[in-house]
Structure 1
Amino acid sequence: MSARKFDLIAFDWDGTLFDSTAAITRSIQLAVADVGGTVPSDAQASYVIGMALLPALAHAAPDVPQEKYNDLANRYRYHYLKQQELITLFAGVLPMLEALRERGHWLAVATGKSRRGLNEALQHADLRGMFDSSRTADETAGKPHPLMLQELMAELDVPPERLLMIGDTTHDLEMARNAGCASVAVAYGAHDPRDLQACQPLHVAADVADLHQWLRSNA
């Protein structure tokens, strides 16, 4: 086993640890239809995953007037919650996280979800206590602003060169770059692997097994 290069590994949640990309995409589409907007394509809806909710919905539905944003957000939450109990961790995530903890890494979540949404997801996935810290989009700046990672580094006293960000969107990778941190992308989430590769991550993992193997050898 190689010497540890990163003290803190921060994970995005949706599409990286949690197999929720399809549910989020469909919930956005249904919410936009509910308020009378032009329904975005799968690619348009999945692109905004990882962003804070209101900016994400505004980007996905540019013809929905601002006065309908609260209704749009409420309809999104309604449709997502109907599916939430059916969403699970990607296969292999739990043993990967346990192995990282055994190796002495600090683990964190940096997500576009709300605090309430993340807490519910952690409880559903039985991962409460797995992570040393977390940041959500409603309590700090949303991606790709670097504040989430900057706050995690300050809290855990970790310099940028000792933090690794892992995510499935260009928003995740750009946030890491803006914070002066390294990143790894996963190709099984919301964004096209070619777009992820353009952000110059250290690695683009094809699946969780590939990610776990890379982390064993390189993190």
Structure 2
Amino acid sequence: MREFDLVVFDWDGTLMDSTAHIVNAIQQACRELALPVPGREAASHVIGLRLTEAMGQFCPGEHAGKLPALVDAFRRHYQADLDRVTLFDAARGTLDAIRAKGVFVAIATGSSRAGLERALAAAGIAELFDATRTVDECHSKPHPDMLLQLTDFFGVAAERAVMVGDTSHDLLMASHAGCHGVGISHGAHDCAELTRCQPRSIVHSLPELSSWLLPRLG
């Protein structure tokens, strides 16, 4: 029996193997502006948040005036060598298998609309998603707005939707929306942090996600 009618994916760190690239761009931007350079854990923790909110965590207090410049510097460093960032190997196969089950497939991301559209075009998989939501249309994670908009758009009850993401922001958004959450540990946040959000499951790869999810799609 089918358990879910809507599967929603985060983008960065979940389908796109971009965590290291984002972390490096944050560190380079902070270094350029003579701000304290965060370690990998601190830098990766903000992945998935609205950009201004994320960068604001690295220029607090007396450094707050550097926020616009830090955002600009991050964007420059992020765009450099972006063509080297690719989908996780099993991403397309996983999406194809889920779509074959006849359920809706969507994206909820902290990226901008323009950034997501560029990434989807570069990856050549835009047609695999029935809808997408970004921070340009919605509140930032972990606010439930993205998921609430998607469930409303498809006419799907929250308890019939599952959110797949690599951060606590994704899983908390799912919880706040009344949806199910599945954490995937190959991205920004480690298993311990994902576990604290009490998801339905934690998987360690997209093939493992398929093994868990496909039987629940009927």
Global fold match (TM > 0.5): yes
Partner of 1:200: 198
Task: Give CA deviations for 1:100-152 in whole Å, capped at 9, x if unaligned.
Answer: 11110101100000001100110111012111111111221000000011111
2:187 counterpart (176, 186, 189): 189
Aligned equivalents of 2:81 and 2:172: distance in 1? 29
Partner of 2:162: 164
1:28 aligns with 2:22: no
Aligned equivalents of 1:119 and 1:61: distance in 2? 29
Partner of 2:57: 59
Give, as a single letter, the amino acid of the residue that structure 1 aligns with 2:184. V
1:216 aligns with 2:207: no
Partner of 2:47: 49
Q: Relative to 1, partners in 2 of residues 1:99 and 1:30: Cα closer, same or farther, differing over 3 Å?
A: same
Q: Relative to 1, partners in 2 of residues 1:86 and 1:64: Cα closer, same or farther, differing over 3 Å?
A: farther
Give, as a single letter, the amino acid of the residue that structure 1 aligns with 2:148. Q
Aligned equivalents of 1:25 and 1:63: distance in 2? 22
Q: Relative to 1, partners in 2 of residues 1:64 and 1:11: Cα closer, same or farther, differing over 3 Å?
A: farther
Residue 48 of structure 2 aligns to a residue whose secondary structure is coil
1:132 counterpart (107, 130, 150): 130
Contact 1:37 1:63 in 2 (8 A): no
Q: After TM superposition, where is structure 1 displaced by more than 2 Å over at least 4 residues in a row?
A: 60-67
Percent of residue pairs bearing the same amino acid type: 42
Measured after TM superposition, the shift of residue 208 of structure 1 is 1.3
Measured after TM superposition, the shift of residue 98 of structure 1 is 0.7
Q: Relative to 1, partners in 2 of residues 1:44 and 1:59: Cα closer, same or farther, differing over 3 Å?
A: same
Give, as a single letter, the amino acid of the residue that structure 1 aligns with 2:210. H
Measured after TM superposition, the shift of residue 64 of structure 1 is 6.6
Contact 1:58 1:64 in 2 (8 A): no
For the aligned residues, what is the CA RMSD? Answer: 1.1
Measured after TM superposition, the shift of residue 198 of structure 1 is 1.3
Partner of 1:81: 79
Structure 1, unpaired ranges of 5+: none
Contact 1:10 1:165 in 2 (8 A): yes
Structure 2, unpaired ranges of 5+: none
Partner of 1:117: 115
Residue 108 of structure 1 aligns to a residue whose secondary structure is strand
Contact 1:32 1:38 in 2 (8 A): yes
Aligned equivalents of 2:166 and 2:99: distance in 1? 21
Aligned equivalents of 2:216 and 2:153: distance in 1? 24
Measured after TM superposition, the shift of residue 216 of structure 1 is 1.5
Q: How many residues align?
A: 217
Residue 199 of structure 2 aligns to a residue whose secondary structure is coil
Measured after TM superposition, the shift of residue 34 of structure 1 is 1.2
State the TM-score, normalized to the length of structure 2: 0.96
Task: Give CA deviations for 1:172-204 in whole Å, capped at 9, x if unaligned.
Answer: 000000001101000111001011011111111
Residue 109 of structure 1 aligns to a residue whose secondary structure is strand
State the TM-score, normalized to the length of structure 1: 0.96
Give, as a single letter, the amino acid of the residue that structure 1 aligns with 2:140. G
Give, as a single letter, the amino acid of the residue that structure 2 aligns with 1:30. Q
Measured after TM superposition, the shift of residue 63 of structure 1 is 5.4
1:144 counterpart (115, 139, 142): 142
